[in-house]
Amino acid sequence: MLQAIATHAYLNTPYDLSPERLMDMLYKMHLTRLFEETAFQQYSLGKVHGTMHLCAGQEAVAIGAIAALRPDDLITSTHRGHGHAIAKGQDINTMMAELLAKETGVCRGRGGSMHMADLDLGSLGANGVVSGGIPLSVGAGLALKLRGGDRVCICFFGDGASNEGAFHESINMAAVWKLPVIYLCENNQYGMSMSVKRANSAADIADRAVAYGIPGDTVDGMDALAVYEAVQRAVVHARAGSGPTLINALTYRYYGHSKSDKQRYRTKEEVEAWKLRDPIPAFRDRLIAAGILTADEAAALEVKAQQAIAAAIAWGDQQPEPAVEHLTDDVYHVEPAVEADPERVLPAWVEEAFGPDTPINPPCPPNTRELTCSEALREAMRQALEADQRVFLIGEDIGVYWGAFGVTQGLYEEFGPDRVRDTPISENAIVGACVGSSVSGMRPVGEIQFMDFITLGMEQLVLQGAKIRYMFGGKASVPMVLRLPAGSGTGAAAQHSESLESWLVNVPGLKVVAPSTPYDAKGLLLAAIADNNPVMFVESKLLYKARGPVPEDPYIVPLGKAAIRRHGQHVTVVATSIMVVRVLEAAANLAQEGIELEVIDLRSLKPYDRETIIGSVQRTGRLLVVHEAPLIGGFGGEIVAMVAQSPAFAYLEAPIVRLGGAEVPIPYSPKLERAAVPQVEDIVAAARRLARTEI
């Protein structure tokens, strides 16, 4: 009898599913359908906030696909992901509590319907961004490949996502690297309202597989066993190291795109026609016909699911709501002892990688060797790669080419192509690979050739990397670094010369660092790699050749701590990166006039050192803030506002002055390029006027 149900009608291929697993699949299909129907009811009762996207009708895809996995395999999910979560084994009590926005929800009420996640079960989370999980799966697959073994990842996505750039970037990258990822399109015939027939030029989404040199398969997504069999083939292919497969599962959603969908784009007759092929009774009847279970046993499974859902509602209703005083919990992964005393307590990763005696801010004796900033960054990466196999470098042309500015010179030859990983030109997939691999236990250091090009990866950085920890209720950490060569002065013109740090500072969940010396370049980069959050490492292109003393052994410079580069009593000047160098030159010039500037190098823009700034302003009574980015919206505005709201405001003897870039794209003309950002003479003039209160 089992053989009868375990044989595909077309391929005559036997399944390896026991009667117990088949009955569990039927139970989970019932559980998913009832969860969705109950979620709809709870929304109608006003108990569910916002919106939700229900997968009723698509149960065969989630349950059939995940039945082909082992418990230690991974998945990435979609905004219509309740079925994926249930199939992977998530607890429906905490899922229901999440829908009801309760503290005991699977994501502590921070994620809601679109962001169910349980990393302990290998569920890397549902995603509110169409195609958002596809680049993450590249990172997850890369982590699995780098760690060895034969685990795989299923990446679920909808037909609409197949038209996103992330789809192409990610599947191409996964195919090039033969990553163990199964790309499973839940083709429910519509993106939001646009049908797949109108949205796609290809007749079949699986036909796109040929462009990437990978297998493509189209399967009846209303047939759980057909889905299982197709995914099982893809899993075997991936476990053997042969790379990804693209599967197009033809299915249908019974509800609208979301709760507010009026469904004007499809007819009732169309919906009813698909309901005649409902996957749950079809699967149930096949099991009964094969003698796997009786009709009474099948009915008992449905009753069991009903009871579980009723219990989940009762449990969820009794749970507490999140407390407002915990609003900002888990935006960042925090090591409490380090946060309390960062200049004396080592981050856990540093202690593990380099030992408990690793120095923090070590002094440089007079005979300390000198390195350029490029060499200091390279040494930090080399020491991190040597110390921890989880660390790897990733980016365009960072291998034999050494990166656009030569910073990774020699590392490809030393550590090989797996750990110094050249990529296709695919910024969003690069960032997604960093996010997905870091969530999966790695510590990537990515390089974006020019800071300008982070704009091409902002979806994965801002909507994924920065938010995952919080959306998932603190269950995930995202220890990744993105190196961002920034700024003007190289004649590269408008699209290769931007300073976008203020964009990044405005994103909760990201940290932003900008060194100005070789010493800080090494120490801050090691501290950034040690940090368990996404750290944006802004590198001035003009400083790569700057030289300075750098200790040979590993050390760190704590994030969030400024340095006073020059003491003075007349004007406090706050700057970062290349502007620190220019401010110091301006300070030397003004000293000849008897004007002494106190120069503060922020080093970290987020978090930044309020105390050092406040203390300095209280001593000098004057403040000048200098940055290369355009004045309007630049980070200097944050410093000014902070001082205006601090005790230092009462000590001010003159208005605060800001000096920033002009409101203009960086021009090609050397004369105009120089005029577009603050130069030494501009700083001298502004500081002189401020010191003499001539403003």
**pLDDT in the model for residue 262:** 87
Same domain for 251 and 162: yes
DSSP per-residue string spanning 484-529: EEE-SSSS--TTS----HHHHHTSTT-EEE---SHHHHHHHHHHHH
**pLDDT in the model for residue 198:** 87
**pLDDT in the model for residue 51:** 87
Residues 280-299, mean pLDDT to the nearest whole number: 96
Residue 580's pLDDT band (cuts 50, 70, 90): very high
Distance CA 224, CA 549 (A): 64
Where does 521-673 show beta strands of DSSP type E? 535-540, 547-549, 563-566, 571-575, 597-601, 604-606, 623-630, 657-661
**pLDDT in the model for residue 653:** 96
Question: pLDDT tens digits, residue range 458-509?
Answer: 999 999 999 999 999 999 999 999 999 999 999 999 999 999 999 999 999 9
Say which CATH number the domain at 621 has. Answer: 3.40.50.920
CB of 178 closer than 8 Å to CB of 210 = no
Longest pairwise C-alpha distance within the chain: 98
Q: Which whole-number Å values give the CA distances from 635 to 177, 503, 509, 564, 602, in the listed order?
A: 39, 9, 17, 19, 11
Task: Find the helix or strand (DSSP H, E) in which 530 lies.
Answer: helix 518-530
Question: pLDDT tens digits, residue range 605-640?
Answer: 999 999 999 999 999 999 999 999 999 999 999 999
> Which parts of 319-451 fold into alpha helices (H)?
336-340, 348-354, 373-387, 411-415, 427-439
Same domain for 222 and 306: yes
Helix 427-439 crosses helix 133-147 at what angle (to 10 degrees)?
A: 60
Look at residue 599 and give its three-state secondary structure: strand
Cis peptide before 336 (omega within 30 of 0): no
CB neighbours of 178 closer than 8 A, spacing ≥ 6?
145, 241, 242, 243, 244
For the cut 70, the answer to whether the pLDDT of residue 410 exceeds it is yes
* DSSP state at residue 665: P
Is 325 part of any domain? no
**How many structural domains is the chain composed of?**
3
Residues 143-155, mean pLDDT to the nearest whole number: 97
CB of 196 closer than 8 Å to CB of 187 = yes
Residue 196's pLDDT band (cuts 50, 70, 90): confident
Question: pLDDT tens digits, residue range 511-570?
Answer: 999 999 999 999 999 999 999 999 999 999 999 999 999 999 999 999 999 999 999 999
Say which CATH number the domain at 174 has. Answer: 3.40.50.970
For the cut 60, the answer to whether the pLDDT of residue 679 exceeds it is yes
For the cut 60, the answer to whether the pLDDT of residue 11 exceeds it is no
**pLDDT in the model for residue 418:** 97
Structural domain range at position 637: 563-691
Is 557 part of any domain? no
For strands 623-630 and 597-601, give the pairing. unpaired
Output phi, psi for 624, to 5 deg: -125, 130
User: Percent of the chain beyond pLDDT 70?
Assistant: 98
* Number of continuous H segments (helices) and E segments (strands) in the chain: 27, 19
Residue in the block written with tokens 């197009």? 248
Residues taking part in catalysis: 496
Distance CA 163, CA 165 (A): 7
Residues 20-35, mean pLDDT to the nearest whole number: 97
For the cut 90, the answer to whether the pLDDT of residue 695 exceeds it is no
Output phi, psi for 371, to 5 deg: -130, 160
Is 177 part of any domain? yes
For the cut 60, the answer to whether the pLDDT of residue 7 exceeds it is no
- pTM attached to this predicted model: 0.95
For the cut 90, the answer to whether the pLDDT of residue 4 exceeds it is no
**pLDDT in the model for residue 15:** 62
Residue 252's pLDDT band (cuts 50, 70, 90): very high
Same domain for 514 and 392: yes
Helix 165-176 crosses helix 133-147 at what angle (to 10 degrees)?
A: 10
Residue 595's pLDDT band (cuts 50, 70, 90): very high
Amino acid at 243: G
Same domain for 39 and 173: yes
- Chain mean pLDDT for the chain: 95
Question: pLDDT tens digits, residue range 163-195?
Answer: 999 999 999 999 999 999 999 999 998 888 888
Is 554 part of any domain? no
User: Percent of the chain beyond pLDDT 90?
Assistant: 92
Same domain for 527 and 476: yes
Joined tokens for residue 175: 């195919």
Domain boundary, last residue among 521, 549, 577: 549
Neighbours of 417 (CB within 10 A): 12
Joined tokens for residue 663: 């409101």
**pLDDT in the model for residue 132:** 93
